[in-house]
A = this chain, B = another copy of it.
Protein backbone atom coordinates (compact mmCIF):
# COMPACT_ATOMS: atom_id res chain seq x y z
CA UNK A 1 0.00 0.00 0.00
CA UNK A 2 1.35 3.39 -1.04
CA UNK A 3 -0.10 6.82 -0.64
CA UNK A 4 0.13 8.73 -3.91
CA UNK A 5 -0.67 12.16 -5.28
CA UNK A 6 -1.83 14.92 -2.96
CA UNK A 7 -5.33 15.31 -4.36
CA UNK A 8 -6.44 18.17 -2.11
CA UNK A 9 -6.00 20.04 1.13
CA UNK A 10 -9.18 20.38 3.18
CA UNK A 11 -9.67 23.77 4.81
CA UNK A 12 -12.49 24.39 7.27
CA UNK A 13 -14.35 27.68 6.86
CA UNK A 14 -17.21 29.04 8.90
CA UNK A 15 -18.97 30.92 6.07
CA UNK A 16 -18.77 29.52 2.54
CA UNK A 17 -19.81 32.67 0.65
CA UNK A 18 -17.19 34.78 2.38
CA UNK A 19 -14.53 32.11 1.87
CA UNK A 20 -15.32 31.70 -1.84
CA UNK A 21 -15.00 35.45 -2.35
CA UNK A 22 -11.67 35.47 -0.53
CA UNK A 23 -10.29 32.58 -2.56
CA UNK A 24 -11.55 34.13 -5.81
CA UNK A 25 -9.59 37.28 -4.96
CA UNK A 26 -6.46 35.21 -4.30
CA UNK A 27 -6.65 32.56 -7.05
CA UNK A 28 -8.94 34.16 -9.64
CA UNK A 29 -12.68 33.70 -10.19
CA UNK A 30 -12.12 30.83 -12.61
CA UNK A 31 -10.27 28.75 -10.01
CA UNK A 32 -13.22 28.58 -7.61
CA UNK A 33 -15.86 25.90 -8.24
CA UNK A 34 -19.48 25.74 -7.14
CA UNK A 35 -20.39 24.64 -3.60
CA UNK A 36 -21.77 21.11 -3.28
CA UNK A 37 -23.85 19.98 -0.29
CA UNK A 38 -22.73 16.60 1.06
CA UNK A 39 -25.41 15.82 3.67
CA UNK A 40 -23.96 12.36 4.42
CA UNK A 41 -20.71 14.02 5.46
CA UNK A 42 -22.28 17.02 7.18
CA UNK A 43 -20.42 19.55 5.05
CA UNK A 44 -20.76 21.83 2.09
CA UNK A 45 -17.64 21.51 -0.09
CA UNK A 46 -16.18 23.81 -2.71
CA UNK A 47 -12.99 23.08 -4.66
CA UNK A 48 -10.43 25.70 -5.59
CA UNK A 49 -7.80 24.79 -8.17
CA UNK A 50 -4.18 25.52 -7.24
CA UNK A 51 -2.12 23.84 -9.93
CA UNK A 52 -2.30 20.07 -9.97
CA UNK A 53 -3.78 19.94 -6.47
CA UNK A 54 -6.91 21.54 -5.12
CA UNK A 55 -8.09 23.20 -1.97
CA UNK A 56 -11.36 21.84 -0.63
CA UNK A 57 -13.19 24.50 1.35
CA UNK A 58 -15.57 22.80 3.76
CA UNK A 59 -18.29 24.52 5.79
CA UNK A 60 -20.67 22.90 8.31
CA UNK A 61 -23.95 21.54 6.93
CA UNK A 62 -26.75 20.53 9.28
CA UNK A 63 -26.81 20.42 13.04
CA UNK A 64 -24.42 17.52 13.56
CA UNK A 65 -21.55 18.53 11.33
CA UNK A 66 -18.20 17.00 12.23
CA UNK A 67 -16.78 20.48 11.63
CA UNK A 68 -18.63 22.05 14.56
CA UNK A 69 -16.00 21.11 17.14
CA UNK A 70 -13.15 22.16 14.84
CA UNK A 71 -14.66 25.61 14.26
CA UNK A 72 -15.44 26.04 17.92
CA UNK A 73 -11.72 25.73 18.63
CA UNK A 74 -10.70 27.71 15.53
CA UNK A 75 -13.55 30.10 14.64
CA UNK A 76 -11.56 31.68 11.80
CA UNK A 77 -11.19 28.25 10.18
CA UNK A 78 -7.96 26.49 9.27
CA UNK A 79 -6.28 23.41 7.84
CA UNK A 80 -8.50 20.39 8.41
CA UNK A 81 -7.18 17.39 6.45
CA UNK A 82 -4.91 16.21 3.64
CA UNK A 83 -6.21 13.86 0.97
CA UNK A 84 -3.93 11.47 -0.90
CA UNK A 85 -4.85 9.19 -3.78
CA UNK A 86 -4.53 5.42 -3.51
CA UNK A 87 -5.22 2.70 -6.07
CA UNK A 88 -7.70 0.88 -3.85
CA UNK A 89 -9.27 2.34 -0.72
CA UNK A 90 -10.34 -1.14 0.42
CA UNK A 91 -6.76 -2.44 0.20
CA UNK A 92 -5.33 0.68 1.81
CA UNK A 93 -7.83 0.49 4.69
CA UNK A 94 -6.94 -3.16 5.27
CA UNK A 95 -3.21 -2.38 5.23
CA UNK A 96 -3.57 0.61 7.56
CA UNK A 97 -5.71 -1.38 10.00
CA UNK A 98 -3.18 -4.23 9.91
CA UNK A 99 -0.60 -1.67 11.10
CA UNK A 100 -2.88 -0.72 13.98
CA UNK A 101 -3.96 2.62 12.51
CA UNK A 102 -7.50 3.77 13.24
CA UNK A 103 -9.62 4.16 10.11
CA UNK A 104 -12.75 6.19 10.88
CA UNK A 105 -15.79 4.24 9.73
CA UNK A 106 -16.05 2.36 6.45
CA UNK A 107 -15.14 3.56 2.92
CA UNK A 108 -17.86 5.71 1.36
CA UNK A 109 -18.28 7.90 -1.72
CA UNK A 110 -16.56 11.26 -1.36
CA UNK A 111 -17.01 14.64 -3.04
CA UNK A 112 -15.61 13.31 -6.34
CA UNK A 113 -17.87 10.24 -6.32
CA UNK A 114 -15.05 7.75 -5.69
CA UNK A 115 -14.49 5.84 -2.47
CA UNK A 116 -12.78 7.66 0.40
CA UNK A 117 -11.85 6.90 4.01
CA UNK A 118 -10.31 8.90 6.84
CA UNK A 119 -7.43 7.88 9.10
CA UNK A 120 -7.21 9.17 12.67
CA UNK A 121 -4.73 12.06 13.09
CA UNK A 122 -3.26 10.41 16.19
CA UNK A 123 -1.97 7.60 13.98
CA UNK A 124 -0.72 9.96 11.25
CA UNK A 125 1.56 12.42 13.04
CA UNK A 126 -1.26 14.79 13.92
CA UNK A 127 -2.65 14.99 10.38
CA UNK A 128 -6.24 13.94 9.70
CA UNK A 129 -5.64 11.98 6.50
CA UNK A 130 -8.17 11.17 3.80
CA UNK A 131 -7.43 8.52 1.21
CA UNK A 132 -9.37 8.43 -2.04
CA UNK A 133 -9.43 6.51 -5.26
CA UNK A 134 -8.54 8.80 -8.14
CA UNK A 135 -11.55 9.54 -10.35
CA UNK A 136 -9.63 8.25 -13.40
CA UNK A 137 -8.60 5.03 -11.63
CA UNK A 138 -12.02 3.73 -12.64
CA UNK A 139 -11.28 4.12 -16.32
Q: Tell me the bound Cα distance from A58 to B40 in angstroms.
A: 35
Say which size band chain A's interface belongs to: 20 to 34
The chain B residue sitting closest to A57, CB to CB, is B125
Given contacts A11-B126, A22-B125, A51-B85, 9 further A-B contacts (CB under 8 A): A2-B26, A2-B27, A5-B52, A6-B51, A6-B52, A6-B55, A7-B51, A9-B9, A11-B127
- A79 and B79 within 8 A (CB): yes
A51: chain B residues within 8 A (beta carbon)? 4-7, 52-53, 85
Q: A4-B50, A27-B3, A52-B52 are in contact. Are A82 and B9 (CB under 8 A)?
A: yes
Q: How far is the CA of A84 from the CA of B50 in the complex (A)?
A: 8
Chief secondary structure at chain A's binding surface: mixed
- Listed in ascending order, the chain A residues whose CB lies under 8 Å from chain B are 2-7, 9, 11-13, 19, 22, 26-28, 50-53, 55, 74, 76-79, 82, 84-85, 121-122, 125-127
